[in-house]
Amino acid sequence: MKTILLWGFLASAVGAAELPLRLSNVMPPWKDVAVPRNLPITVLPAVEHRGSPVDSILPSIWKVANRLEFHAGQVVAVLGTHPSRVPLPDVLCSVTNGSGGEWIGTGQGLFEARSDPSIPIRHEHYGLGGPLATRITGLAVDSKGVLWVGTPLGLSLRAVSGDWTHVRGRDGLPVEEVTALAMDPQDNLWIGTTKGAILHRPYAEGRRWWYRQGLRYLPGDRVRSIQLAPGGMPAYFLTDQGVGKIEAVEIRLEEKARVMEARLNERHRRLGLVADCVLDDARRPQNCLIEDDDNDGLWTAYHVAAMSLCFGATGEEGARGSARQSMHALYRLQNISGKPGLVARSIVPAEIGRTKSAQWRPTLDGAVYWKSDTSSDEIDGHYLAFHVYFEHIARHDPVERELCVRQVRAITDYIVDNNYQLIDWNGKRTRWGFWNPESLNGVPEDYLENGLNSLQILSFLKVAHSITGDSKYSQHYQKLIHEHGYLNNVLLSKKVFPDEENHSDNQLGFVAWYPILQLEKDPRYRAALLQAARRHYTLVKREKSSFYTFVYGSVDPGFVDLPGAIENLHQIPTDRRTWRQENSHRTDLSFSSRRNRFGHRVLLEALPADERCFKKWNADPFLPDAGGDGRLEDDGAAFLLPYWMGRFHRLIAEAETKP
């Protein structure tokens, strides 16, 4: 078969019976910059920073203490001024200089005591040729003999030669008002500030800065003193709200996935559905509450797909059972309305449903209430679950196969028979449940949904045809492409400037991209889909999303940023409590001149997932501040899905563990 690809015309010389395919010249093809790769990439364990309060030091002590020290292997809070051999007032810090002398930091300047400690010499210059300020709040000397000086204006470095340089926000320092310093034997520098702690690795390859702020890491943000355990970790911090410690924990990505899956099954299931939970106590939870959510179906679909891929990669019975539990919960959402094909958003017991709005409808027996006005978001998730569950689990089990076929047929028929719309219990279309040509191609207000919803319905029909084998779904698929230009619409499935950036739509797009990219084999359609998906991925690549990367990487691994995706998996905390994390005050970041679609200021670059409140893929990764008191706990499926997708498609593999 010979395929000719032009962006004004796509044609295939396969015979007169084939339908012609014309595509508008709406975009040039992205240049092929594929990078040859040896796959899978072996992923090393992640090193996570995990913070916790040190409750053994009572408030009556830490509130009046000035610093921390180690005694008999235990960290203790100490009163009084900083010890020094030099008789100077207002000593704030000191460190030996490696030749028997001592550097002393005071509120009035930097002093050096050489052979005679009773005669300290005050450094003459400040700003140029010396520390940035006369108030010296931290001192440390690294293995190269460089003196690190903390000041309220940033860091200053004195080389062995006596030359001075400075490190401020533009150089990578997140907060310039330094309050304490501590250097470990490996030249890892912990920096205390008035707004959190910072780990700096000045001589390391790759990432050199880690910002640790908020209750995920510290009991309080204003750090008064730092004390490192022998060897460097844990690091202990005396703050304005107590004493805390940060440990460095090495964990394999597979272990992280298994921890999250175990926790999900322990406290993130409601009626089989997967959802966030609210803990009674963020630090020592005994109980949790799971409330209904508009996207119960979508988040549960994440988990169905994740554990189905896990079963595909490992063959583990536990993964199959967990995926089955979630899939059957989705089936309940699909059937609870009593109208075949009309999917519910969520369900609750009658005693709760009776207290809710009219959007909640009782079942015929009145035992359960279901939420109506289901959106395209939800249906998107259901079809992802259909595809992955069928491919890896249901097709190999006659009972599960028959059930999956029946369910996907009911929903698809309902949508198709209602002119590609989701019609609610009252005979009216749901607010976002539309994929029909009249809306997508004829209503200007639906311009932003034109590409995404065209992609969705094509993906739905492809999944339905794959599972049922019914040619009518393929006929609808081709009708939408050839008569209504849906493949044309998909070429611009991701609409950008000057339109609004919608991160929820990015997520929904890649949920729909995955099934259709796996299933479409016709070279004419596939060529266009690959170009459209490549364009969409290119526009979100800077987020380093492991989910987006592995979806497109499953069909084009040479084009995607696999190292960035692995970095993202490493950075997503195993702890899924959504602690408040703030970054808008940082001096090392730059803000966009444009606000996001909700009017919030956003950053030019997405922060690492361990420095922001990462929850799910629909959130804006450029938002600097997010999160709460830690009582809301994410279910973790947003990590499980890309991890097991990467494993199944052999994009990544775990490093072998030592015996």
Residue 456 neighbours by CB under 8 Å, 6+ apart: 376, 379, 380, 383, 435, 508, 512
C-alpha 80/C-alpha 104 separation (Å) is 16
Across the strands, what pairs with 51?
246
C-alpha 92/C-alpha 198 separation (Å) is 19
Give mean pLDDT, residues 511-516: 98
First to last CA, the chain: 52
pLDDT at 180 over 90: yes
Q: What confidence tier does 659 reach under pLDDT thresholds 50, 70, 90?
A: low
For 632, the token pair is 């809301």
- Determine the pLDDT at residue 16: 31
C-alpha 487/C-alpha 256 separation (Å) is 39
- Determine the pLDDT at residue 21: 85
- Determine the pLDDT at residue 179: 98
Mean per-residue pLDDT of the chain: 93
Strands 626-633 and 74-78 come out as unpaired
Compute CA distances 66 → 93, 222, 227, whole Å. 11, 13, 12
Give mean pLDDT, residues 589-612: 94
C-alpha 126/C-alpha 164 separation (Å) is 10
Eight-class DSSP state of 212:
E
Compute CA distances 616 → 500, 545, 578, whole Å. 20, 11, 11
> pLDDT of 133-156, one tens digit each?
999 999 999 999 999 999 999 999
- The model's pTM: 0.94
- Determine the pLDDT at residue 28: 65
- Determine the pLDDT at residue 88: 85
Contact of 151 with 178, CB cutoff 8 Å = yes
pLDDT at 574 over 90: yes
Q: Of 615 and 119, which is predicted with more confidence?
A: 615
Q: Is 76 helix (H, G, I), strand (E, B) or coil?
A: strand
- Determine the pLDDT at residue 12: 35
Contact of 430 with 343, CB cutoff 8 Å = no
DSSP 613-650: T---TTS-TT-S-EEEEEEEE--SHHHHHHHHHHHHTT
DSSP 526-579: HHHHHHHHHHHHHHHGGG--HHHHHHHHTT-TTTS-HHHHHHHHHHS-S--EEE
pLDDT at 14 over 50: no
Instruction: Give the CA radius of gyration of the chain.
Output: 29
C-alpha 95/C-alpha 569 separation (Å) is 38
For 539, the token pair is 């526009």
For 406, the token pair is 């029946």
Q: How many residues does this entry show for the chain?
A: 659
DSSP run (H or E) holding 430: strand 429-434
> pLDDT of 426-448, one tens digit each?
999 999 999 999 999 999 988 88
Contact of 408 with 464, CB cutoff 8 Å = yes
- Determine the pLDDT at residue 628: 97
DSSP run (H or E) holding 398: helix 398-417
> pLDDT of 619-637, one tens digit each?
999 999 999 999 999 999 9
- Determine the pLDDT at residue 30: 65
Give mean pLDDT, residues 311-337: 98
**Ramachandran region of residue 476, left (φ > 0), alpha (ψ -120 to 50) or beta?**
alpha
pLDDT at 34 over 80: no
Report residue 145 CA to chain centroid gap.
39
For 551, the token pair is 């979806």
For 65, the token pair is 């203490």
- Determine the pLDDT at residue 52: 97
- Determine the pLDDT at residue 100: 75
- Determine the pLDDT at residue 501: 84
Q: Of 90 and 310, which is predicted with more confidence?
A: 310
Contact of 315 with 340, CB cutoff 8 Å = no
- Determine the pLDDT at residue 84: 67
Say which amino acid occupies 638: A
> pLDDT of 189-248, one tens digit each?
999 999 999 999 999 999 999 999 999 999 999 999 999 998 899 999 999 999 999 999
Give mean pLDDT, residues 56-65: 93
Q: What confidence tier does 36 reach under pLDDT thresholds 50, 70, 90?
A: confident
- Determine the pLDDT at residue 99: 73
Question: Torsion over CA of 517, 254, 269 and 615, rounded to 10 degrees?
Answer: -70
Give mean pLDDT, residues 87-103: 86
Contact of 108 with 134, CB cutoff 8 Å = yes
